[in-house]
Homo-oligomer: A and B are copies of this chain.
Amino acid sequence: MKPVSIKDIAKAAGVSHPTVSRALCFSPLVKAETAQRIRDMATAMGYRPNAVARGLVTRRTRTIGAVVTTLTDPFHGEVLSGVEELASDHHYSVFVANCNADADREIRVVKLFQERRVDGIVVMCSRVGALYAPLLRELKIPIVLINSNYPNDVFDSVAIDNLGASLQAVQHLISLGHSQIAYLGDQFGLDSDRERFAGYRQALLGAGLPVVTSLTVCGDGTPEGGQAAAARLLALPEPPTAIFCYNDQSAIGALSAIRVHGLRVPEDVSIVGFDDLRIASFANPPLTTVRQPRQLMGRTAAGILLDLLSGSVGQTHVQIPGELIIRRSTATCSTAVSDIQEPAI
């Protein structure tokens, strides 16, 4: 009934259990032929090492915890995939936990991971904020953040250059002649949202354009939220000619809202997304967006974590430049180019 242990093998092989342990770890301290004999018996008896017991004595579990805001978001799935990939390459296992964009829950999850004695933690899109950062810090577990920036650099991090990328994206719209540009953001107070808005703002101000309050609306990162928010923009007395969206999911919702409203993309309204999800290039029209190397970001974060675990010191902050991918959801502003450019029918 109970799985076989090294003691069982020891008994069967007529040696002591530490010898079995050494043989299985390929320790040079044990005679080659007995080691081989022991290993053969182990496989014959169907032995599987107990990682729990090993973790107790070595004080390292070779596990890492991944905290995710919403697993249902394909963005997070891909980052997580990168984390898992690198982790498993190094024989680490990954715990996942959802925190539903809730800071309290995020802290509870991290504490749970602490009880599980994970060696390190990766947090995606943390919502904990600078206020609670010390609380996490005192847990004494290495933490790497993905796409959230604490002002005081308490944790190592991997993040895209949100501000620079947004700046670039909105400048692209401005260069197409747009001046009525809206920002369709998120609603959870994520750092990335704030930074993308800052880039938007900076681009407008840099071009001498006003930042109009009514042109900033909040979605929730989903197509549904994006659709609703875009509908509000289109109902404005002076609707925007271009919308810069917090992410691709929102942008896809906006695309749909514009269609429902009887307008066309990009002839009537230009749309820019963020993330370059796989479906972005399959949208109709294909979405102009900012590429985030999601799996790479996950791998990078996991790599930093493993470095930390093997004793590296000093903070690492990887900043990844965003790349603007111009597809067919953006075009020159029709009202700016000429007054008569309505379609024949």
Contacts and interface: CB of A to CB of B under 8 A. Distances in A.
A117 B72 contact: no
A11 interface: no
Contacts of A49: 115
A220 to B, nearest CB: 12
A53 B51 contact: no
Nearest to A46: B138
A333 interface: no
A267 interface: no
B71 A80 contact: yes
Interface centre among A49, A76, A116, A282 (most CB of B within 10 A): A282
Nearest to A252: B282
A309 interface: no
B80 A96 contact: yes
Copies of this chain: 2
A279 B252 contact: yes
A308 to B, nearest CB: 17
A75 to B, nearest CB: 10
A interface bracket (residues with beta carbon within 8 Å of B): 35 or more
A74 interface: yes
A194 B253 CA distance: 33
Interface stretch (A28-36, A87-95, A166-174, A313-321): A87-95
A85 B94 CA distance: 16
Contact of A88 (B53, B97, B222, B227): B97
Given A93-B97, A97-B94, A114 B48 contact: yes
Given A71-B80, A81-B98, A223-B278, 6 more contacts: A72-B78, A80-B96, A84-B98, A94-B97, A223-B282, A283-B284
